[in-house]
Chains A and B, each alone.
Chain A
């Protein structure tokens, strides 16, 4: 039987509730590493309290593993201190870049998937893992553009990075859908399924699920990865599809970053993570019967 754990991102709006008590629907909490650099802050105190109730995973957003100029060493040192302090179950970062010439952009910017980018990521991931003395996971980003000189498909790029560096993968199912939609793929669900089938599921240790927002830009519709909505039906469909492909134990996270609803809505979303996982497993068993 596949072992799945279901977690929630800890954010300032709900940190107090997670710090005060163990919610039965939540198996673990995930924190954005950069919010916990200062051990004396309220957020660090709340995370320490929450860690008494839940396993913690740390998810970085600012190390910029795709920077051609390399990582910011000071930033890496702060991440390392955070990892030592909280002893997280998993440590993850993104397949993206966010700094060049000393300027940081506080965003997950896309890279072209080329041999040069591959070498940059591989070197930085190895350095990151060597520094922490542990495996990290890399997450697929959401993208609003494509580069003309990309030569490798994103799923292959991730598989090869994992094989080259030994890093694990964090598969964000919502990002798969958002990117497929924004890149104008014909048949978005089919494109998303192909992506999930292409990913080496043995390397995936964590899933992210979230909501997105649709915007009209000129004549085109664009999906923005806002994490402020319930998960959309198409993303549930991709989630079920992926779980029907994988037997690996995994931590499944619900991300919600802004426009926070009542806590009951988050609990309902967590409950749906379990329900859809069960239905994927039932379908898998039926197909094997």
Chain B
């Protein structure tokens, strides 16, 4: 059966009135939460996890797909209308988008972002439907040693490519792996790191961990540094674009998609690098170079498409191999596991209905997003004026509700608080969040594969590189660690993308101070 038939089958099961309703609710909830300042897509998905507790998996994932794309869209609205991007992936959008908004072209900026996201998301989802099954077919044949090597590769890559400090990245990763250890050992049933507490004999409630780190940690951090002067929100009407804007937007959309999708599919920290690459490409190719820095529409169209294409690309490793490469993907993986669905290469065959319905609902969600949100944009913009004490009190309220609702055990709220304080400390000490959350999720799978591999070789460590693929992956991993260090020695003036992004952001900050 061809992938297209399967996707059409998925569309049929996703297009029931009930499922369409879930998709619409997901899109609206996702956008609502995503537009709120201080809440990114990962936090949106984590906060809304409890909503899906009583739904069956298919409906829950249809809703999730909507929440995910809605959250991404909401984030871009925020970064265009406020001059402060919430997460690294929207830095590039904010750069030109906010300038456009200030010049009275907010409607066009929002329109090019929305339509670009739609096109990139649709192409991206179709590419997922094309690549994920093929990859899964290969992945099923991969043995434990290679699987372990790939997991290690994913962790090392996200940890070294992101952020400016590798020490802090690895510290964060090891903390995450430690958190993943808590609970009963798989083989011998002995409790590890339970500190004598009964509730710690089960694996930690993932909602408490994710919501604690993302939502509570962020709310505490904001509380410590709350802006006393309210930010200026630029008023906006209904998004629209003229002929000239279409002409200047469509190529950046497609190029952005081309940058975003591959980067989303590999563990390179999500959208940060592709949005940056898209931005500099558009700046170089544009016939309106003088407009860059003053609000060029290409600078919004490209990065926004890259952002959404990478959001779609993330589904390739997630569905084909059970490997999340972004924070949002790891929260979704956690949700899958909580339904008792085993993530991994066999997901495509064992849960093919679920997978194809999910892919189809990504397409539907994407379309709904465009249809519902273009007219609703002025309403969403009003959300940005919500008073901050009530906003962050609301985040705390829903975070505690989510943690409590899972087991109705006050201990989970206590865990939430503990992880919230950890999240606060991480923000204070500049520890990146992504390596930690990937460590929590991937740690247990890694240990399983490690022990399988070593059981086959009867405890001999050489069993880890007994497969050619494993050797190749180890060499790649070593190269990723070594090459940047060598490059830095040889050409110390060369900046990494992460550093350039930081630089661009610093420039923007300077401008803000000047005003």
Q: Do A and B bind each other?
A: no
B residues near A (Cβ < 8 Å) are none
**A residues lining the B interface (CB < 8 Å):** none
